[in-house]
Amino acid sequence: MTGPLEQAGPEMGQNLEARTQLDVYTWYSPYVHRVAWVLKLKGIDYEFVEENLKDPNKRSPLLLNCNPVYRKIPVLIHHGKPIVESLFIIEYIDDTWKDNPILPTDPYERAMARFWASFIDERLLEGSKRVLSVKGDQLKMETKQVSDAMEVLEGMLEGKKFFGGEKIGFLDIAFGWIAIWLGAIEEAVGVEFFNRRKLPLLETWKDKFKEFHVVKDSLYPTEKLVRFFTKYRHSQLKLAAKK
Amino acid sequence: MSEEVKVFGTLGSPMSCRVELALKLKGVQYEYIEEDVHKNKSPLLLKYNPVHKKIPVLLHNGKPIAESLVILEYIEETWKGNPILPEDPYEKAMARFWARFLDEKCLPALWNAAWSPENEREKAVEEACDCLKTLESTLKGKRFFGGDTVGLVDIAAIFIGFWLRVLQEATGQELLSAEKFPDLVKWTDEFVSCSVVKESLPPRERLWAFFKARVAGAMDAQTNASK
């Protein structure tokens, strides 16, 4: 079953594959979407290869060879060489295909982009996973931490259309899918992250980002994400109760 | 043009050392500011790293950068002499991957193996050795992770190059053995014998004393816990 991230034909000579998950198991992954968006933004032809992550025995030998340390997706394969870690893949793509640069050219701006991407992964991506897994006082605490991090991002948008300035950049790509996640997690858990009054710039940014052509084509209906997170939360709370 | 380069660090911190080593490798003059991160972080540190409130912080012409690996890449892109990253995009991606592996898996596993309680130690040591095995195979008999010269991954692995041996002596627990990891042990010797690396390292005795005190503290805690 393929979602909106349709398989594109492999480009002869370029020999580029995005070895990633494409199916019911990982359509929700922010890491995969990041890489797909960048490839699309740069107009790079690539082939999507499905990986079944649910069953570790079904992971392809190629995936295990390519990413023996983490055994995770996405893996980008270019000229037979594997690159892993979504943010490193994006930097690799930027280094290799110079059109439509995703990262800024100035070293200080690049350092800031890397720093804040790491912040986003730690406080928002991992943070939102924690929100899904707890309740009561712990939920209040984890929700507050995510909200605090969002206020920091709000501050960064001051006077800008996107985190990257006039155009979508590294941080927009890094945060993008997580923003969509957070919207669905709000519904699944019954918490609030996006507050139009407190975070007006982020609200506007989210609307503009979702309209952006490469993003629009990859969106799933919110209900699908909400159902997914509700199920995940249920299993996480059950696990916690057993301990 | 005069440049203002400052490093906010802590003596004994491998992260802080990474930054100083990279600057020294590139011949960049800088001012070092010692931070008491445990008891008394300076207002400047809190101003320059409000998000994490940690060292190291690099200040270049008034602009602060935090997170040691981010700082290393900034240093590489700003001062072009003696490159620490390869030019080839794939090799660069691999170097970044191994540096991240060190920070996310390897160093925490090593630290954990040294300090975990008795009942968890075996598993912790196994995890640490798995990481060392992975690094050993990455080295593949090269002189440095960076090839013929010290690179990003070597700098990132400075804890293994220096701190780990002192830690092993202090705890009496050997993780990095020459029999199991000959290439890695050879690398530690090569690495710390480089003059620029030697210049960047903290005094061995102080580090040893710090670890010894911590060992004593851990033993006291265990004794008290079992009373």
Q: Does residue A101 sit within a domain?
A: no
Q: What is the pLDDT along chain B (227 residues), one digit of tens a residue?
A: 468 999 999 999 999 999 999 999 999 999 999 999 888 899 999 999 999 999 999 999 999 999 999 999 999 999 999 999 999 999 999 999 999 999 999 999 999 999 998 899 999 999 999 999 999 999 988 999 999 999 999 999 999 999 999 999 999 989 999 999 999 999 999 999 999 999 999 999 999 999 999 999 888 877 777 66
B100 touching A, CB under 8 A? yes
- Whether residue A240 contacts residue A134, with contact meaning beta carbons closer than 8 Å, is answered with yes
- The 10s digit of each residue's pLDDT in B80-123 is 999 999 999 999 999 999 999 999 999 999 999 999 988 999 99
Q: Does residue A102 sit within a domain?
A: no
Asked whether residue A29 falls in the same domain as residue A78, the answer is: yes
Asked whether residue A119 falls in the same domain as residue A222, the answer is: yes
3 state DSSP class of A165: strand
CATH topology of domain B5-78: Glutaredoxin (3.40.30)
Total domain count for chain A? 2
Instruction: Please answer yes or no on whether A69 and B134 come within 8 Å at the CB atom.
Output: yes
B133 touching A, CB under 8 A? no
Asked whether residue A29 falls in the same domain as residue A88, the answer is: yes
Question: What is the interface pTM, i.e. ipTM, of the complex?
Answer: 0.93
Closest CA of chain A from B195, distance in Å: 28
> Domain holding A199: CATH number?
1.20.1050.10
Asked whether residue A62 falls in the same domain as residue A118, the answer is: no
Q: Does residue A115 sit within a domain?
A: yes
B6 touching A, CB under 8 A? no
Instruction: Please answer yes or no on whether B67 and A92 come within 8 Å at the CB atom.
Output: no
> What residues make up the domain containing A35?
5-96
3 state DSSP class of A54: coil
CATH number, domain B89-217, options 3.40.50.300, 3.50.50.60, 1.20.1050.10, 1.10.3720.10: 1.20.1050.10
Asked whether residue A127 falls in the same domain as residue A87, the answer is: no
Asked whether residue A112 falls in the same domain as residue A231, the answer is: yes
Q: Tell me the domain boundaries of chain B.
A: 5-78, 89-217
3 state DSSP class of A220: coil
Q: Does residue A208 sit within a domain?
A: yes
